[in-house]
Amino acid sequence: QVQLVESGGGSVQAGGSLRLSCAFSGTTYSTTYRTAWFRQAPGKEREAVAAVYTRSGGTVYADSVKGRFAISVDNAKNTVSLQMNSLKPEDTAIYYCAARMRVGLSWISESEYNNWGRGTQVTVSS
């Protein structure tokens, strides 16, 4: 069974940086089709932030984080990371890692992912 564990969350001032990590167990990252980061702010729906496609290495980002966030893979450590720079108070949310094992259609759709971590809190103060 695939297990995902996020780490690296915390509190930071606006303009600061954090690096989140998603560790795979029960399988290797290479067996997935796509891995994504989602976030959910208080009172808001969960939204897709970034994703990486395993086979091609291609990455996609939500407009709100383009140029500030970067998703990357460390195959040796079996982890997917999200480097977050120039953080804004509106980035405050619980961040979740999600993986899809088979070919899918829409990286932003929650229903495409059947493996989720429990989340890590990111708080950005102004």
Secondary structure of 46-75 in HEC code, one letter for each residue = CEEEEEEECCCCCEEECCCCCCCEEEEEEC
Question: Cβ neighbours of residue 31 under 8 Å, at least 6 residues apart?
Answer: 54, 101
The per-residue pLDDT for range 68-88, each reduced to its tens digit, is 999 999 999 999 999 999 999
Residues 54 and 24 sit within 8 Å (Cβ to Cβ): no
As a whole number, the mean pLDDT across the chain is 96
pLDDT the model gives residue 1: 84
* pLDDT class of 38 with cuts at 50, 70, 90: very high
CA distances from 17 to 20, 28, 63, 85, 98 (A): 10, 27, 18, 4, 22
pLDDT the model gives residue 7: 98
Query: In the chain, what percentage of residues exceed pLDDT 90?
Result: 94
**Could you identify the residue written with the tokens 């460390």?**
74
CA distances from 11 to 73, 81, 108, 126 (A): 24, 18, 26, 11
